[in-house]
Amino acid sequence: MKVEEFALERIQSLYENTVELNLSDSGVHPMSLNDLLSDAEMREVQALELGYGWTNGAVTLRETIAALYESRTPDEIIVTNGSAEANFLLVMLLLNPGDEIVVFTPNYLQIWGWARALGVNAIAVQHDGDADWQPRLADLEAAISEKTRLITICHPNNPTGAIMPPEGMRELVRIADRHGIYLHADEVYKGSELHGPECESFLDMYEKAIVTNGLSKAMALPGLRIGWLAGPVENIYTAWQRKDYTSITTSAISEYVAERVLKPELRSRILQRSKAILRQNLALLQDWIDANAERVSLTPPKAGGMAFVRYHFKANSTELVHRLRDEKGVLLLPGDVYGLDGYFRIGIGTPRSHLEPGLERIADYLRKNY
């Protein structure tokens, strides 16, 4: 088996813990246990027996997750080690060598890379950068063949922060339904919408929808490594069979915390914190964009912890990012890792004390070199 390097993860894992100003993250600055648990709950955590739990996730946690959707049961949920494991299980669940998967791009390309490693033909349908990064649904029909098993979309989108209007979501569901194929949505940024209500989940719109989600992005708790896969009972049971060959189970401590943070009141409080940070930082970034408009531009994100900035000078994005890291101590993510040179991704969920000096250093570098 040939597994291509996951370029996005590789550049972050090499440098994010050593660079002075890491602006490459796509989530919101994390919270601590002290922010989340009462004194009594902290004592309960300290008294937890650190044994194996339910290999598909504690029943009470799966009940709490199921309540996030309409008319779902715990048997339609499997708890995973982050949404990355959920995506991994999805590929193992639905795809076989020779199948085809349609991937809306740009996208977090874990599913793309792992499907290709298994001998699946991955076909890209692009979002339209000139239309608020909306998916080109008109191109989807042409991309579907008799071998297509699955359509996958990241919604809200990574890296652009785009959100589909409700009618666009319904049209995507109609296309999938017309062809009788599965529709997968990576919904880890759901809940981080900067304005207006939280997006509807595709899980509540289509009987053959399967979604991944988790606590790493909008919920600002990546260190818990809790995600989930939600979908039809028979598919989730099959995913459970696959999980017996991966991580077996998740952390008892993480599941204890996850069950509490996903209750409506605390979940709402966490998401309001995330949105406040993102709104303030997006305003700062937009001012920076306006001040450097001859070199950069931005379609403002509608959700998520990142912005996808376009630059208007000749430079390879990967080379640009490495020069900024070497010379200015600032780490961004190059558009190359999404197959879109001419862009870089910048995290807006980071503390302002990182973002503000980071932007100043980037501007200084661009003025002197471009």
Q: Domain segments of the chain: what residues? A: 7-32+267-364, 50-262
For residue range 68-81, list pLDDT tens digits in order: 999 999 999 999 99
The Cα-based distances of 201 to 212, 227, 289, 365 in angstroms read 10, 16, 32, 41
Has domain 50-262 been given CATH number 3.40.30.10? no
Across 20-32, average pLDDT: 97
Confidence of residue 299 (pLDDT cuts 50, 70, 90): very high
Is 302 in contact with 156 (CB distance < 8 Å)?
Answer: yes
**Mean of the per-residue pLDDT values of the chain:** 97
Report pLDDT for 345.
98
- Give the C-alpha separation, 92 to 243, whole Å: 10
For residue range 176-190, list pLDDT tens digits in order: 999 999 999 999 999
The distance of Cα 200 from the centroid of its chain, to the nearest Å, equals 16
Across 26-41, average pLDDT: 97
CATH architecture group of domain 7-32+267-364: Alpha-Beta Complex (3.90)
- Token pair 């062809």 in the structure block, residue: 179
For residue range 104-123, list pLDDT tens digits in order: 999 999 999 999 999 999 99
Report pLDDT for 227.
98
The pLDDT > 70 percentage for the chain reads 100
Is 270 in contact with 261 (CB distance < 8 Å)?
Answer: yes
- Give the C-alpha separation, 31 to 34, whole Å: 8
Report pLDDT for 257.
98
